[in-house]
Amino acid sequence: MRTFSIEFFPPKTPEGVTKLRDVHMQLARLNPRFFSVTFGAGGSTRDRTLETVMEIQAAGSAAAPHLSCVGSTRENLRDILATYKSHGIRHIVALRGDLPSGMAETGEFRYANELVEFIRAETGDWFEIEVAAYPEVHPQAKGYRDDLVNFKRKVDAGANAAITQYFFNPDAYFNFMDECAALGISIPIVPGIMPISNYSQLARFSSMCGAEIPRWLAKRLESYLDDTASIRAFGLDFIASLCERLLAGGAPGLHFYSMNQSALTSALWQRLDLK
């Protein structure tokens, strides 16, 4: 069964909270399997992540909080897990995470596989655990093979499924799937999908996270200059085509990075007739 899900980030302001409430209400009509909620560097959004997850769940949707281990201790992670468990949360996205600016120490955990092992040791099978996958290689990995081995460690530690970093070249995903199969990895690996609405913002995000924008695509988007309507229209066509190819090639679902906006995710969902 294919799974379709949507990601939010915790809002920083009262206006952001109100807006996300409206966005969630609109996207909940699509009936995604779950909404994930990101967790800031070093746990900087811990309380806001929890509040957002609680509100989503109270509104009747399944929620999956992100949890990162960098900058965390066993004690505070144990507290977070206990809080989520007490609120009936059964789904977590377990990540290594980023160090906050100015922080030099990673904390008691260095890698996501250690976090997955800890969650399993503390809570058994209570949580369904998603981890991250990088078809185009994690930006801090030593190399392609090392990145694959690191991914396998997370799977072996007890991950149930994975969500990829977004990408624009479907062959990167299919090649990654072949490499995973060769290593005996059989968990569902769901492609992460980034709608295109603003090229300068997309270029900035992509350079930070290691997602490659093919040269032809970059040039096409640059050619629209500040014509936002044309960028969004072309982006919708391109991303819909990418999703169609991924699903036709056997992808077990799609995970949409909504950026706390509803319009493009809704348009893609409806165009693809996702159910």
Residues that are catalytic: 7
Instruction: Tell me which amino acid residue 82 is.
Output: A
C-alpha pair distances (Å), 262 with each of 184, 221, 233, 254, 268: 37, 21, 15, 16, 10
Q: Which residue has the tokens 């809704």?
A: 266
Instruction: Tell me which amino acid residue 234 is.
Output: F
Q: What is the 3-state secondary structure (H, E, C) of the chain?
A: CCEEEEEECCCCCHHHHHHHHHHHHHHHCCCCCEEEECCCHHHCCHHHHHHHHHHHHHCCCCEEEEEECCCECHHHHHHHHHHHHHCCCCEEEEECCCCCCCCCCCECCCCHHHHHHHHHHHHCCCCEEEEEECCCCCCCCCCHHHHHHHHHHHHHHCCCEEEEEECCCHHHHHHHHHHHHHCCCCCCEEEEECCCCCHHHHHHHHHHHCCCCCHHHHHHHHHCCCCHHHHHHHHHHHHHHHHHHHHHCCCCEEEEECCCCCHHHHHHHHHHCCC
| Contact by Cβ (8 Å): 43, 66 | no
Helix axes 46-58, 74-86, angle to 10 degrees: 10
